[in-house]
Structure 1
Amino acid sequence: MSVPNPSNGVTSAGVMSADAAPLAPLTRQGLPGRYVLLVAGLFLYGLSLRLMLNAGVGVSPWDVFNVGVTHHLKVTVGQVSILAGALLVLYTALNLKERVGPGTLLNVVLIGLVMDLLSRAVPHPHVWAAQWAQFLLGVLLIGLATGAYVGAGLGAGPRDSLMLGLHRRHGWPVARVRTGVELLVLGVGVALGGPVGWGTLVFALLVGPSVAFGLRLFGLAGKK
């Protein structure tokens, strides 16, 4: 058993104790509170993706794919996200035997729905500084959003389920699985004409620290 270190709130196993994280009590709410946390996190996730998309400097690999599909089919970015998520859930549940929780299903629907609903509400800046400020805000929010919906503990997202399922089935390192999937999706998205820019590279460099920050904020990960 890990022993808490009261001086820094980190256990001997390297996991931050709940008391050391500012928002950790939110992850220990009853079921209604956890659903509120889940929905809030998914809303923030959809908002963060729309902020980056509308900034016009590049998007995440999955959104390169999502936008690429819209060039060939009469669908919105959010609809592609929902369809892709649903297919991933089916694959991971049937072939990789990953558990599908209520949070998994809400993840599939709400993120894409929020992206479409905020399409016109989120600005489309044309000034370089404003574009990058909006993009970086999106990267920051994606970490907070991840901490919130993971902290709710109601099921992993479809892309996380795929990563974990492949890891469990084949024993491949999680980091390599995630990187491989992202590169594959990015390649397909580019072939479909999806938008790649400097923001795509910046996202790849910053999303890890952003997510780590969000998880620590909710007491779900420790400092290395």
Structure 2
Amino acid sequence: MTQSYPYRYAQLLIGLFLYGIGIALIVRGEIGVAPWDVLTQGIDNHTGWGFGLITIITSAVVLLLWIPIRQKPGIGTILNAILVGLAADVGLWLVPTGQGLPLRIAFFAVGLLVLAVATGLYIGAHFGPGPRDGLMTGLHRRTGWKIWIVRTGLEGVVLLIGWALGGNVGVGTVLFAVLIGPMVNITMPLFAIKRPASAQKPLPTRDASEMATQA
């Protein structure tokens, strides 16, 4: 069913808010986080700027990297860069730290589910990819490299830098890498909003799992 702009904007905003909450739950799980969040934690260890602010700054830096690859942001891209970090800080404020292992595992599991649903919501609203997704697909388009190679390279670099800075790499990092792709392969079609044919643009050839990087 084709939906109006207000409906799509509402879905976008809900998705971005939930994405930040999902990140916060995974962080509070304390068993390992996604590669980009490992980098965020590592930078925070050395600056004390706070998880949300660093997420926003990192998004801004990534958007600057869009310029040489001629990638154009949408309104969803800009809102993603601002709102996910703010929502993550809200989640980190709400969710307690230092819990026992069973509760931390539950935090991680719920966070992964929330993040998968959020990904389907914000991408399904069709207002542009997140900064990191756009960098990945832009490099794929400009270089001709397979998108999984670009994704693995980008996430490998930020993971190593974050780990060297003291970010939390653990079993959760591995579980995130293994599970998030299949999960968003379900949520993205589920929440995709049908647009009028005149408003649709061709998408790069890739499946949903290849869009399942950090927002």
Q: Fold-level match, TM-score > 0.5?
A: yes
State the AA in 2 paired with 1:59: V
2:120 paired with 1:147:
yes
Is contact 1:51–1:137 with CA below 8 Å preserved after alignment?
yes
Is contact 1:142–1:210 with CA below 8 Å preserved after alignment?
no
Q: What are structure 1's unaligned runs of at least 5 residues?
A: 1-24
Larger Rg: 1
With over 3 angstroms needed to count, the CA separation of the structure-2 counterparts of 1:219 and 1:152, relative to structure 1, is closer
State the AA in 1 paired with 2:181: G
2:4 paired with 1:30:
yes
* Matched residue SS, 1:96: coil
Equivalent residue pairs, number: 195
Please give the alpha-carbon distance, in whole angstroms, between the structure 2 residues aligned to 1:128 and 1:202.
16
With over 3 angstroms needed to count, the CA separation of the structure-2 counterparts of 1:186 and 1:49, relative to structure 1, is same
* Matched residue SS, 1:156: coil
| Aligned equivalent of 1:59 | 33
Question: TM-score with structure 1 length normalisation?
Answer: 0.83
Cα offset for 1:216? 2.6
Please give the alpha-carbon distance, in whole angstroms, between the structure 2 residues aligned to 1:219 and 1:153.
8
Aligned CA RMSD, in angstroms, stands at 1.5
Cα offset for 1:219? 4.5
Question: TM-score with structure 2 length normalisation?
Answer: 0.86
Q: What are structure 2's unaligned runs of at least 5 residues?
A: 194-206, 209-215
| Aligned equivalent of 1:135 | 108
| Aligned equivalent of 1:186 | 159
State the AA in 2 paired with 1:196: V
Per-residue CA shift, 1:77-119, capped at 9, x if unaligned? 1111101111111211x11111111100000000000111222
Per-residue CA shift, 1:42-100, capped at 9, x if unaligned? 011000000000111111111110010011113011111101111111211x1111111
State the AA in 1 paired with 2:179: L
Structure 1 residues 69-108: aligned runs within 5 Å = 69-92=43-66, 94-108=67-81
State the AA in 2 paired with 1:132: I
Is contact 2:25–2:91 with CA below 8 Å preserved after alignment?
no
| Aligned equivalent of 1:47 | 21
Is contact 1:42–1:111 with CA below 8 Å preserved after alignment?
yes
Range moving further from structure 2, 184-193 or 204-213:
204-213
Cα offset for 1:205? 1.0
